[in-house]
Amino acid sequence: MTLELQRLSAGYGGMDVIHDIDLTVRPREIVTLIGANGAGKSTLLKTISGLTPSRTGTITFNGERIEGAPTATRMRLGIVHVPEGRQIFSGLSVSENLELGAYIHRRRSDEADAQRAEVATRFPMLRERMLEVAGNLSGGQQQMLAIGRGLMSRPKLLMLDEPSLGLAPRLVTEIFDLIVSLRDQGLAILLSEQNAQLSLAIADRGYVIENGRVALTGSGQELLQSKDVADRYLGVGVRHESSSAHMENGISRRLHNLMRSVPKT
Ligand code: ATP
């Protein structure tokens, strides 16, 4: 799977919010978007999933032009968007929320059951709460549920909008570990994150979005070492740097080390 955007523009009302975006996500890549609030990251993800129509430019997925296709078609092709704020159905059970994620493929119920079991294996915390009303879950659990629901349709490209927003440090680490393990299992991930430091630390490549345009692009490491990026974005979301008690496994240690190696400005 490859996603390729060429000169993509989109917006609301009479105004463009993203302008001439060129961006590529290749198989088994984590690509992260960083940028200030309002830079246009969410709009970019929504334009890729079809929730916001594009104005000009092209979106090519696996060689197929999709900028005119409805969201449901894009989902069937394997593009899944987990929006900011989770947007789970709080009155439905965990299990029912997961089931809705499989709906787009009109999977037979035995297939949906098998997929739900697979998701439950990945998220033991969800397995224990399958019948619980989703509104009773903590913020972190709801984020896991939102990602789990996205995985129910077996995506090829998973787009995550601010998955760590508002989560306790230990859960932030868990979410980032999860993203790395999904990539390692073959998914491509497009991530929008306020936490530039952590997201660049796990990213294969990143794009800095400023005022709806790509201001800078490079490998995660290059952007982490960039003085421009450090000056503007690396102060955000580093509170958990001191939470070494939670840095348990390899990837977390790696993240911790990467964070420490970022030049102080
Ligand atoms: P954040 O992290 O705060 O979500 P962002 O980089 O994702 O920021 P967007 O949410 O894409 O940025 O917003 C980009 C611009 O588009 C902002 O000026 C915002 O006010 C505007 N905008 C977003 N959604 C809409 C909408 N539904 N209607 C009109 N304007 C919108």
Greater pLDDT, 206 or 170: 206
Residue 61 within any structural domain of the chain: yes
Do residues 3 and 27 make contact, with C-beta atoms less than 8 angstroms apart? no
Residue 171 within any structural domain of the chain: yes
Residue 111 within any structural domain of the chain: no
* Ligand 1 near 12 CB (within 6 A): yes
pTM assigned to the model: 0.88
In ligand 1, the atom with minimum distance to the C-alpha of 192 is 7
Residue 256 within any structural domain of the chain: yes
* Ligand 1 near 38 CB (within 6 A): yes
In ligand 1, the atom with minimum distance to the C-alpha of 52 is 27
Residue 112 within any structural domain of the chain: no
- Domain span including residue 218: 3-78+155-261
Residue 113 within any structural domain of the chain: no
Residue 32 within any structural domain of the chain: yes
φ, ψ dihedrals at 190, nearest 5°: -115, 120
Distances in Å between the Cα of 196 and the Cα atoms of 70, 158, 164, 190 are 31, 19, 11, 14
CATH code of the domain containing 218: 3.40.50.300
For 196-249, the pLDDT digits (tens) are: 999 999 999 999 999 999 999 999 999 999 988 988 888 654 443 433 334 434
Residue 110 within any structural domain of the chain: no
Residue 162: pLDDT over 60: yes
The domain tally of the chain equals: 1
